[in-house]
Chains A and B, each alone.
Chain A
Amino acid sequence: MGYGTEVAEIRDRTAEGRFPSGKPIVRRYTTEIGQKLTDQILQMNATSTILAPAVETCFGDSGGPAMRDGYVVGDNELRIHQQLPLPRRVPAGRHPGRAQLAARLHDRSFLSEQGVARRFANLGTLGLLSGCGPRCEGSGDHGWRPTADWPTHADETMTNAATRLQLCSVSKQFAAACILLLAKKGHLVDDPVAIGSPLLPRRGSRSRSRT
């Protein structure tokens, strides 16, 4: 997890609390203890400050892949529980105020095939596995309740395979693929990126960008 993420160390901060640019891209992993596990969703703990790469589970690559043993097994989304279109409440005494990482598995069978669920139950610790996707009974209004002891809301029905969830930062994959498709079709040129966006600093650096 943390693929393609540019990560700076805490010690690199300046006296003003800023980080230098140009840090090398590294890959990081975690053995973070899972918080909740369902058939297709693994929810892990993460810090809300997202400033401490050593203790979080997303490493700044929200929207990127979840990997295990060299394979992409799902998609990561760093979700801050106060802001999500999913019901969530951190149980009292369990990391209040923290963000939660919900990575997504695209193949539900992966859990049973790989024995991950069993390992999770036995050891209580899991690397980066994950999962997404509602797999419950019911229809209509789609709430999301990952475990039997999750708070129940009035008029709530469980999610099911037809429930559409907001992908949040995983949407960035679609935008990135869109850009690559435009490149494939020859619609992009090698212009300074600042030409394409009035928001970016004009440093004169060139990038394979677009017109």
Chain B
Amino acid sequence: MTHTAGLGHWPDYAAIDPAQSIDDDDFVAAVRARPASHRAPGSALLQQSWLRAAGPCDRASQRTDLCKIRDREHLRPLEMVDTFVGNGNDRDAVARGYRGADELPSWELDCASKGAGDIWTTARDLDRWDRALLSDALLPIASRD
């Protein structure tokens, strides 16, 4: 997942629209169609590799979806009751985006940004998350070294 892994960012893949859903096979095909390049950090933010983290997690948990792992392992134990994963179209109390006076739709989060940008939360819940990371409530301290 480093910036030099050779994967590109959204603009590098014409077949991937972060606002549209895409299935795994099409996603892999689109990414593999572009040769890996080792460009500047920052120019390759590697959304793709974070998305791909979902695959191994699925396998490690008997194909349990990454969303469910995060919900079971992170959100519930930390009582992050206002946090959810994925598209927020039908949810209450979600921030809406605008450009000027025009409302902007969210990116597609169930598929295209899975693992990379699909969490919605409140300041209070994010506080719980950060404090858990800074303690041993979530992960062993050694894992932060």
Q: Hey, which bits of chain A sit against chain B, CB under 8 A?
A: 5-8, 13, 17-23, 40, 50-51, 53, 56, 59-60, 62, 72, 74-75, 81-89, 104, 106-108, 132-135, 139, 141-144, 151, 153-154, 159, 161-184, 187-188, 196-201, 209-211
Contacts and interface: CB of A to CB of B under 8 A. Distances in A.
A164 B98 contact: no
Contacts of B113: 171
27 contacts: A56-B42, A59-B42, A60-B45, A72-B134, A82-B104, A85-B96, A104-B123, A106-B123, A106-B126, A142-B93, A142-B94, A144-B95, A151-B101, A154-B101, A159-B95, A161-B123, A161-B124, A165-B122, A166-B106, A169-B45, A172-B116, A178-B69, A179-B56, A183-B143, A184-B143, A210-B59, A211-B60
Contacts of B120: 164-167
Nearest to A159: B95
A174 B80 CA distance: 12
Given A162-B93, A164-B91, A199 B3 contact: no
A60 B3 contact: yes
Interface string B45-82: 10011101111110111000010011001100000001
Contacts of A13: 40
Contacts of A143: 95-96, 98
Interface residues on B, range: 35 or more
A165 B74 contact: no
B57 A210 contact: yes
A82 to B, nearest CB: 6
A177 B129 CA distance: 11
B40 A177 contact: no
Q: Which 5 A-B pairs have the closest CB atoms?
A: A133-B123, A87-B98, A21-B4, A85-B97, A106-B127
A62 B113 CA distance: 14
Interface string B25-51: 000100110001111111101001110
Contacts, number: 247
B2 A178 contact: no
A199 B7 contact: yes
Given A164-B94, A178-B57, A184-B140, A199 B49 contact: yes
B56 A134 contact: no
Contacts of A51: 40, 42-43
A168 B117 contact: yes
B83 interface: yes
A142 B96 contact: yes
A190 to B, nearest CB: 13
Contacts of A89: 98-100
A178 B114 CA distance: 13
A188 B56 CA distance: 9
A178 B73 contact: yes
A133 B57 CA distance: 30
Contacts of B53: 175-176, 178-179
Nearest to A143: B96
B20 interface: no
